[in-house]
Structure 1
Amino acid sequence: MLVENKTTETYQAIHIPVSSNSPPGNVFQRFASYFWYYVICGVSISIKDMIKDIYVKAPVIEIEKLKKRSDQVVVMTGGPRGIGFDIVKKLLQLDYTVILGVRNISASQNGIDKIRSLGITSGGVKFLNLDLKSLNSVRQFAKEVLTCEEGSRIDLLLNNAGSVNGNYEITPDNMESTFQVNYLSHFLLTNLLLPRIKETAAKKGGEPCQIVNTSSHVQNACKIKFNELETSKVYVPFKSYCKSKLYQVVHVKTLENKFREEKINVHAYAVHPGEIATDIWDTVGIFAKILQPVMNLGRTTDGAANTVLYPVLTPEVGAKFGGEYFESGQVKPSNKQANKLEIQEKLWERSLELTKDFNEN
């Protein structure tokens, strides 16, 4: 078992957010877009999903009956809070070594201490600093993962961190922040870690390595427009969030196609954890506050964690349905655009172009 790394941050990302009181689009365009994405799409889809979560239960994973992963390593973005808390708890129960990319090591250590206070002594945790609003930070994080002792193998990559930015913000890389945090930084991180993941898969024999993108059912509410990926002609927070979650689904399908072509034993999945009342919605506004009491009736963070980990910890499912989009432990239809090869190829090439100065692969 590894001992938690309680050292101070060795890398501090340069983060100079640029917010604007006048986001792209005039007041009429923003109102129309806001009405469509929040009232028509957001509220209707969310209510439908919350009702579904009440009646369609999360998959049950009996952690105590699963074999231990004492020699296996997980790289995960985001700290042990909200859904992440229960994901990390289950991974430690299975004796994984978990490398966590977080913005605040001290706060994340508090989460691990809480898990340990529950009597969970197995598994190990290593913290490394990661700011998904900085591509340079992503590259530095990947470098530290690949050079540390714990990162000598990577069995599972969990692209779990995400945000909904209530204000229009341009990152230091000159990109809209929700797009970069939820999608592009994870795209870059996955590419930088892929060689190690492939090496690990080659050594494991029959058991695959895996990549999970924590997506959302709202990926069905939008369309990809390649003339406004990293920027927005008309900015509405929920619109940017929906699109970023669609990009994650496309990313998974593209990866799976490449793994099959190369005959590599790695699988990728996009997973919707359910409607969960976590602090990710704090900046969205009044609609999230109105819906929160209904959210509390549905899925717990423990159930959401089971949903995210289901294809990973259920071999007969994961091996058969690589590249698929999951809800409640079941493969569900994704946005039709995600299945189009021309969309997959175009998004891949555009993403490579946007990350070319940081992508060593």
Structure 2
Amino acid sequence: MKWSYWAFFAQQRKRQPPVTKVDLTGKTVVMIGANAGLGFEASKHFASMNPGRLILACRNESKGKAALEKLKAETGYSKAELWLVDLADFFSVKQFADRYERDGGRLDILVENAAVATFNYSTTKDNWESSLQVNHLSTAFLALLLLPTMIKTAQEHSTVPRIVIVDSELHYMATLSKPLLKDPHLLKTLSSVEYCKSSKVMRDRYALTKLLVVFFVRALNARLPSSTPVVINAVNPGYCYSELRRELTGPTAAFDWLTEKMLAYSSEVGSRPLVWAAISHQDDPDVLRGEYINDYKVQEVSDVALTPAGVQVQNRSWDELIRILSDVDPRVTDIVGQYLSCSI
């Protein structure tokens, strides 16, 4: 499928349905990137459904505490918890997973909302380009480390947990050059200063990381045995007011400002699809398994991801991702071996 400006315009102008609601009594929801924007608004919606636990996972403690107080004031829900995690730091992700293994209990819904968009090349303390690590590597790392807990939850409580990763329609604009299509070390190349020295590469980086999210969701789903009662999907919240675009300058920033005024959803409206992806189709959650969700329905992903060459890149990038993350934490190797199928 190819991206269409007119389809985008029509979707942004369409009246959006009210938020979907179910009873979450006894269930645990973890929202990554919960202190502001989409994450906070989605947390408010989940709080209104009486979850047994609602964990707001934030990078900044002071902002996280402020979000807790605001959530309680606006919803009356008093059981929310603040847990710290920084996706720009593999060790922080490991600490979060370790804590969850110790005292997190069940896990029914994991929404991974944290992301960065930057035009400037910088590396994390783990020596990865920052947006590549936050938007893809650490997002995948956390999902994999928490997968055993979600499978255990499914077995012990006869439920179907969900992993929801926030994606973007911008993945339709991402392209892979011929050298990248054949590169056996795609992620390493994408992170290198040599590759990223072109300003165009960094301008296109956010869209490319969102294509990598599509690859990860489809690759993980393909390796989860169909009998595994865990559903993973990617969801597009639409074009919303957001701090993600704060680095825009000049005519591009002016155009974005004007487009926001005409078309952008509020953060609350943009949060509704996240909730929908996490709780809709209670009677048949498998319809959302491994899918990209847009406008409250399953939608075909970018043509890049559907071509034979794209599928090969998806599988190679999966293999590389697992090697990278296994070097960070050997548990990844064990999780892949125990819970996933290698016959792809």
Q: Which amino acid aligns with 1:78?
A: G
CA contact (8 A) 1:337 1:343 kept: no
Q: Which amino acid aligns with 1:90?
A: H
Greater share of residues in helix: 2
Deviation digits for residues 11-31 of structure 1 (CA, Å, limit 9, x no counterpart): xxxxxxxxxxxxxxxxxxxxx
In the alignment, structure 2 segments of 5+ residues that lack a partner are 333-344
Alignment match, 1:344: 314
Matched, 1:163 2:163: no
Cα displacement (A) at 1:331: 1.5
**1:289 CA displacement:** 4.0
CA contact (8 A) 1:54 1:297 kept: no
Given candidates 106, 112, 121, the residue that maps to 2:62 is 106
1:295 to 252, 260, 269: 260
- The structural deviation recorded for 1:46 is 9.4
Which of 162, 179, 196 pairs up with 1:210?
162
Cα distance change, pair 62–335 in 1 and its aligned pair in 2 (3 A): closer
1:91 to 46, 68, 81: 46
Name the residue aligned to 2:246: 282
Q: 1:95 & 1:46 partners in 2: Cα distance?
A: 39
Residue 230 in structure 1 maps to residue 195 in structure 2: no
- Give me the CA root mean square deviation: 2.2
Is the 8 Å Cα contact of residues 159 and 212 (structure 1) preserved in structure 2?
Answer: yes
Counterpart contact for 2:111–2:165, Cα < 8 Å: yes
Match of 1:117 among 64, 69, 73: 73
CA distance 1:292–1:145, shift in 2 (3 Å): farther
Which string of whole-angstrom CA distances, capped at 9 and with x for unpartnered residues, describes residues 89-147 of structure 1?
011111222222212121122123222222x2236222222111111111112111221
How many Å separate the matches in 2 of 1:178 and 1:337? 21
Deviations 1:190-234 (A, max 9, x none): 1111110111111232x3110111010011112343443333343
Give me the whole-angstrom Cα distance separating, in 2, the residues matched to 1:147 and 1:356: 21
Q: State the AA in 2 paired with 1:114.
A: K
Query: Counterpart of 1:61?
Result: 19
The one-letter amino acid paired with 1:179 is L
- 1:83 is aligned with what amino acid? L
- Of the candidates 299, 302, 323, which is equivalent to residue 290 of structure 2? 323
The 8 Å contact of residues 311 and 318 in structure 1, kept in 2 or not, is answered as: no
TM-score, normalised via structure 2 length: 0.83
CA contact (8 A) 2:240 2:260 kept: yes
Confirm whether residue 153 of structure 1 aligns to residue 111 of structure 2: no
Query: What one-letter code is carried by the residue in structure 2 that aligns with 1:313?
Result: I
On the 8 A contact 2:20/2:272 being kept in 1, the answer is: no
C-alpha displacement of 1:293? 3.1
Q: Which residue of 2 aligns with 1:311?
A: 277
Partner residue in 2 for 1:357: 327
Normalised to the residue count of structure 1, the TM-score between the two structures is: 0.79
Select which of 148, 158, 161 maps to 1:195: 148
1:208 alignment partner AA: V
Given that residues 154 and 160 in structure 2 are in contact (C-alpha distance below 8 angstroms), is that contact kept between their aligned partners in structure 1? yes
Contact 2:12 2:239 in 1 (8 A): no
Aligned to 1:7: none
Which one-letter code corresponds to 2:162 in the other structure?
Q
Superposition misfits of 4+ residues, deviation over 6 angstroms? none
The 1-side partners of 2:101 and 2:109 are apart by: 14
Distance 2:204 2:311 in 1: 23
d(CA) in 2 for partners of 1:209, 1:62: 17
Identity %: 24
Which one-letter code corresponds to 2:172 in the other structure? Answer: N
For these two proteins, the number of residue pairs brought into alignment is 310
Q: 2:230 aligns with which of 266, 286, 289?
A: 266
1:154 to partner: Cα distance:
0.8
**124-133 or 81-90, which moves further after superposition?**
124-133
Which deviates further from its counterpart, 291-300 or 89-98? 291-300
| Alpha-carbon distance in structure 2 between the residues aligned to 1:57 and 1:204 | 37
1:242 Cα deviation after fit: 0.7
Gapped regions of structure 1 (runs ≥ 5): 1-44
